Amino acid sequence: MGSIGVGKTVIRKEAWEKVTGQAKYTDDFISNHILTAQMVTSTYAHAKIQNIDISSASSLPGVKAVLTGEDYPVLFGQLIEDHPPLARDKVRYYGEPVALVVADSAFTAAKAAAMIHVLYEPLPVINSPLQAVDTNAPLVHEKMIMYQIVKEDIYPNYDTNICDQKKIRKGDAEKAFEQCDVIVEAAFHLPQSDHIAMETRSAQARIDASGTVYIKSASQSPFSIKKIISKIFHLDQSKVIVEVPFVGGGFGGKAPVQLEILAYIASAAVGGRAVRLTNSRENDIVSSPCRMGLEAKLKLGASKDGMLQSVQMKYLVDTGAYSDIGPTLTKAIIVDCTGPYKIDNVHCDAFCVYTNHPYVTSYRGFSHASSAFCIERMMDKLAQKLNMDPAELRYKNALCPGCTSPTQVKITSSNFGNLNSCILKLKEIINWSEGTRMKVEENIIRAKGMACLWKTSNSPTDAVSGVFLTFNPDGTINLNCGCVEYGPSMKTTAAQILSEKLKMDINHISVNMDVNTKYSPEHWKTVASMTTYMLGRAVLRAAEDVIRQLTSIAAVALHCPREDLEVAEEKVYVRHDPSLFLPFKELVHGYKFLNGNAVFGPILGQGSFIMNDLNILDQETGKGKSGPFWTVGAQAVEIEYNKKDYTYRFIKAATVIDAGRVLNPKMAEGLIKGGMCMGLGLGSRESFSYDEEARVLDTSLRTYKVMHFGETPEYLVSFIETPQIDAPYHARGIAEHGIIGIPAALGNALSLAAQAEFDELPLVPETIWRMKTGGIL
Amino acid sequence: MFCLKGKSLITINVNEEDYELLIRPSDILLDTLRNQLGLTGAKPGCNNGDCGTCTVLVNGWPVKSCLMLTAEAVGKKITTVEGLKAAPIQKAFIEQFAFQCGYCTSGFLMVCHALAGIHPDPPDIVIDEWLQSNICRCTSYEEIGTAIRTVLDGKIE
C-alpha cells in the first residue's frame, strides 16, 4: 500500500541508491580521457607574488597546461567583484590558489604542482577583525574603489578594510539605557571554522565545438554557476550548462562558485577537453571558503522586573580575504540581532571586514549560530544579575504577535510562530525544574543551559523557484525541479507535497535527483531553509495546473461540468457519483474516443514562485523585510563538568522548534538532531587557529576535530506546530535550525557549571583551565 | 612477501571476482577501485585515514582503502559496498534514517557490517570504538547507532 501526503514518515526517494554505492557524486563520474587539474596554493597569508616559475612543470611529459593569475585577469564575486580565480600580484590568504596544473593524470598533476616555484615578498598580515579596523592597518584590498559592486545594498568604506556596514536604529537606545535598572556588557570572540562536508568540493568542465560550456559540480547553486561564468567570460547564459548530481553535504559551503571557474579556465586552456578538479581535504579546508569569524561587543539593559529595554551592539564579521557572501552574513546578523525578544530600543552596527584569513561563505545557520551565542550569553548574564531564572527571563521577553522585529517587521502568529510554547515544552523535556546546577559527586557538577533561536532568510528580493510536471502513459508523474539534493531530503518533500495535493501515492511520483540548468526550472539556490517554502509553493501551483487540465479533459470525456469533478488516487471522478471516473492513464496523454478520435494532448504541468514582498533594508535604520517568515525554537544542553581536570561531557541536548507543520516526522527529527550534533562540535572543539603569520594550522581532519560516534549526548527533539499560513501545508523551514542555539546553550551550561563567564568558542578544556586558573600551572 | 618494481600486472579479488590490473607500486587501493574498476561506492574524504568514507573490507575486516596500497590487496578478499548483497545493515540504515547526504554511508555500512559479523553481541564500548573510525557530518550518529543495534538484535529481516 502506498503512502499519501504530508505529516507521516516517508523514506527518502533515493534511499536505496545511497546504501548500495549507486548514488553518483561529481567526482564519481570518471572517464579515461578526462584530464586532472591540481591547484598550487599560497604558502603565505599576505605576500606580493614576485615570480612564478612554471618552466620545469610545463615541460613535464603529460602536463597539458599550467595557468597562473596572469592568464585570466578577471574578477568575480557574488556581491563585490573582488576575487581573481587565481591570485594576481599578491596573495591574500594562506592556501589561496596561485597556479593550476592540467595533466593527463592525478599522478602527473601532483608531480608538476610540486615543481612550480613561487617567489613571494611577505607583507604585514591582518590576523584578526580587530586588527583590520585599526587606523593604521595595512589594506587587504588597496583598490577596493575599483571593484564592481553587484548588489545595491553594499556600503563599503573605501581605503579601509571595511567592505560593508549594516545598521539598525530603532527607538533611542542611549536614552533607554538611562532608564535601565540593570545593564550587562560583554565582548565575544568567535573564530572561523569549516563546513567539513564529507564530499570535498569538486568540479568538471568541458567546452564543445560550438563553444557550449558544460560544468558538472558539487554545488548548491547550479544556476549561480551559470550566471557567474557567463558574466565573467562573456558567454550567453544558454551556452553554459551546469549539471549537479548528488552532493555529499553542503551546509552552505557549496553555495558559492569557485572551483567551477578554475575548471572552466583549465578546460579552455586545453582546447575544451574535459577537466576534473577535486579538492584535497586540506584545500577544501583552507583554499575554499570557510565559516565566518566574529568579534562582538554587546550592552544589554533591563528594568528590575526583567523586561528588556535597550541593546547596543557592535559586530565585526571576519569575511577573510574576499567578500563572497560576507555582506549578507553581516545583514543577517542585524536583521535578527535582538534574538527573538522584544527590545524597543536597538542600536546595532555590523561591519564586514577583510582580513588575511581564508575567505568565508554561508554556513548552516547563516551567522545566526554566532550572533545567537552573543545575545543568548547576554541573556544568561542578565538573568544572573537580576537573580532570575534564565528560562523565565526569556519567556517574559519573547516576541509575540503585535511586536516588531529589529527591522520593524510586524510579528504575527503566522510569520513567527509561538516561542513561549517552545520554551515551556523545552523546560518539560529537559526537566528544567529539577534545577540547573547540581553536584553529583566529588568534583562533578551537572548543569543545564538554554538558548532561544530565531532565523529568517536573506535571499534576493526576487528569488525564484519552479516545477515542471510530466506524466508517463501509465499515469505516474515526473517532478522536475532545480533544487539540489545534498541531504535534507528536499526532493522527497516536493514529492510529498505533490502527493498531498493530488491525493496520490507518493511511490507513483518520481523526482529528478540531478539538476541540469538546461532542463530544470531555475531554483535560486538550495540554501537558507527556504526550499520547502519556495519549491513547495511552486509544486502546489504546478499541481493546480495539472488538476485544471485533468478536469478539463475529463469534463469532455465524462460529459459533465468541470466543477463537479475531483482528483484523487490517480483518478478524476464525479464528486456526487464517484462511480463515474476516469483513471489518469486515460487522460494524461490526451483523451481518445472509442472511434479513435483524440483530443487535447499530453498534460504538461508547471508552477513557479517568486518572493513577493521583500525589500532592501534602509541603509540608516535597517527598516525593511528580509525574509518571508521566521522559524523559532528553544534549545538546551546538559553537561557533566569535572572541576578537577576542566573537562566535561555531554549528557543531553534538547530542541523544541515551531515547525508550523511537520511534513516528514523522522526526517525532521534527523535534521534537527544533525544540526544539534554540529552545534555541539562548534561549541566544544571546532575552530581555525592561526600562527603569527595568519596561516591556518588546522588543515586536516587529524587536527581539525569534529564530533565522532560515541561522543554525543541523548538527543531530545520536540515540535510545536503553529501554522504558517502562506507556507505549503503550513510548514516552516527547519533544515538549519538545530545548530543555532546549541553553542550558546553549551556556553550557558558551562558558565554555570564552572562559575566563570565563557564568551568565546570553542569551549575546549584548555579554555576553561585558562579561565579558571589564569593560565598559571 | 612479494615485491613490485615499477608498473606491474597484478590480480586482486574484489566482490568475489578476480581482476587483472596494471598498477604502480604507490597506487592506493581506493584509487584503483574507483579509477580502474569503476567501483565508486568507496569515497575519498581525506586520503589520510581520518574520516573513513573509503572503508572497504579486507578478508572481512574494515580497512581504510586510502591507507592501503593496491599491491597489499593481492591474495586477499576485498569487499566494497557494491558487494553487499541485501545485507541487513543496508535496510536498517534506510529505516533508521541513518544517512542524509549519503557520502559517508558506504564507509559506515562496511564498518557496521563487519562489526555485526565479528562481534555479534558487542558491549556498547565496542560499538563506540569501532564506529569512531568514521565521520558523518549530517546525522547525529544516534541514527547510525540505532541502525547497528537493530541489526545486532536481529530485528531486521
pLDDT tens per residue, range A405-464: 999 999 999 999 999 999 999 999 999 999 999 999 999 999 999 999 999 999 999 999
Question: A331 and A151 in contact (C-beta within 8 Å)?
Answer: no
Do A671 and B100 make contact, defined as CB atoms within 8 angstroms?
A: yes
Task: List, in order, residues 6 or more apart from A93 with CB less than 8 Å away.
Answer: A42, A45, A46, A286, A320, A321, A356, A357, A358, A359, A694
CATH number, span A15-22+464-597: 3.30.365.10
DSSP states along A116-169: -EEEEEE-----SHHHHTSTTPPPS-TTGGGSEE-STT----TTSSEEEEEEEE
- Convert the pLDDT of each residue in A91-150 to its tens digit: 999 999 999 999 999 999 999 999 999 999 999 999 999 999 999 999 999 999 999 999
Mean predicted confidence (pLDDT) in A573-585: 97
Do A710 and B131 make contact, defined as CB atoms within 8 angstroms?
A: yes
Q: Is the pLDDT of residue A187 over 70?
A: yes
> What one-letter code names the amino acid at A415?
N
B31, B51, B103, best to mutate vs chain A, most A CBs in 10 Å: B103
Considering only CA atoms, give the Rg of chain A. Answer: 27
Cβ neighbours of A673 in B, within 8 Å: 139-140, 142-143
pLDDT band at B156 (very low <50, low <70, confident <90, very high): confident
Residue reference for cell 569503476? B38
Question: A29 and A278 in contact (C-beta within 8 Å)?
Answer: no
Q: CA B42, CA B108: separation in Å to the nearest integer?
A: 10
Q: What is the pLDDT of residue A21?
A: 98
- For residue A306, count CB atoms less than 10 angstroms from its CB and return exposed for 0-12, middle for 13-18, buried for 19 or more: buried
Question: A712 and A680 in contact (C-beta within 8 Å)?
Answer: yes
The shortest CB-CB distance from B106 to any of A21, A281, A666 is to A21
Q: Give the containing element (helix H, strand E) for A242.
A: strand A240-244
Q: CA B9, CA A18: separation in Å to the nearest integer?
A: 33
Domains A31-125+198-249+254-286 and A293-459+615-773 share a fold: no
Where are the domains positioned within chain A?
15-22+464-597, 31-125+198-249+254-286, 293-459+615-773
Cβ neighbours of A201 in B, within 8 Å: none
**Could you tell me what percent of chain A has a pLDDT over 70?**
100
Q: Is the pLDDT of residue A351 over 70?
A: yes
Q: Is the pLDDT of residue A701 over 80?
A: yes
Q: How close is the nearest chain B Cα to the Cα of A735, in Å?
A: 11
Provide the 3-class DSSP secondary structure of residue A653: strand
- Convert the pLDDT of each residue in A22-69 to its tens digit: 999 999 999 889 999 999 999 999 999 999 999 999 999 999 999 999
Cβ neighbours of A670 in B, within 8 Å: 97, 100, 139-140, 143
Q: Give the containing element (helix H, strand E) for B94.
A: helix B88-95
Q: Is the pLDDT of residue A295 over 70?
A: yes
A90-91 and A47-53 strand pairing:
antiparallel
> What one-letter code names the amino acid at A79?
L
- Convert the pLDDT of each residue in B14-59 to its tens digit: 999 999 999 999 999 999 999 999 999 999 999 999 999 999 999 9
Half-sphere exposure of A393 (CA within 13 A, CB side): 28
Provide the 3-class DSSP secondary structure of residue A108: helix
Q: How close is the nearest chain A Cα to the Cα of B40, in Å?
A: 6
Q: CA A708, CA A258: separation in Å to the nearest integer?
A: 29
Task: List, in order, residues 6 or more apart from A272 with CB less than 8 Å away.
Answer: A206, A207, A208, A209
Distance of CA A423 to the CA centre of its chain: 25
Q: Give the containing element (helix H, strand E) for A534.
A: helix A531-558
Q: What is the pLDDT of residue A1?
A: 47
Q: What is the pLDDT of residue A211?
A: 97
Domains identified in chain B and CATH numbers: 8-80 (3.10.20.30), 88-152 (1.10.150.120)
Q: How close is the nearest chain A Cα to the Cα of B116, in Å?
A: 17
- Convert the pLDDT of each residue in A139-182 to its tens digit: 999 999 999 999 999 999 999 999 999 999 999 999 999 999 99
Distance of CA B89 to the CA centre of its chain: 13
A162-170 and A565-568 strand pairing:
unpaired
Q: What is the pLDDT of residue A342?
A: 98
Task: List, in order, residues 6 or more apart from A71 with CB less than 8 Å away.
Answer: A86, A265, A269
CA A357 to each of CA A80, A291, A330: distance values in angstroms, whole numbers, following the listed order: 18, 11, 17
**Could you tell me what percent of chain A has a pLDDT over 90?**
99
Mean predicted confidence (pLDDT) in A558-585: 97
B30, B133, B142, B144, best to mutate vs chain A, most A CBs in 10 Å: B142
Say if B120 is an interface residue toward chain A (CB within 8 Å).
Answer: no
Q: Is the pLDDT of residue A515 over 70?
A: yes
Mean pLDDT across chain A:
97
- For residue A170, give the C-alpha cell: 530603532
- For residue B77, give the C-alpha cell: 578478499
Q: What is the pLDDT of residue A182?
A: 98
| DSSP secondary structure code for residue A728 in this structure | G
A345-354 and A162-170 strand pairing:
antiparallel
Cβ neighbours of A702 in B, within 8 Å: 48, 50
What architecture is the A293-459+615-773 domain classified under in CATH?
Answer: 2-Layer Sandwich (3.30)
Q: Buried b / exposed e across B18-28, counting CB within 10 Å, b at 16+?
A: ebebebbeebb
User: What is the maximum alpha-carbon separation in chain A?
Assistant: 96
Do A200 and B51 make contact, defined as CB atoms within 8 angstroms?
A: no
Q: What is the pLDDT of residue A72?
A: 94
- For residue A519, give the C-alpha cell: 532542463
Domain A31-125+198-249+254-286, CATH 1.10.645.10 — does that match?
Answer: no
Task: List, in order, residues 6 or more apart from A238 with CB less than 8 Å away.
Answer: none
pLDDT band at B1 (very low <50, low <70, confident <90, very high): low
Helix-helix angle A742-754:A765-773, to 10 degrees: 40
- Convert the pLDDT of each residue in A190-235 to its tens digit: 999 999 999 999 999 999 999 999 999 999 999 999 999 999 999 9
The shortest CB-CB distance from A281 to any of B47, B139, B141 is to B47
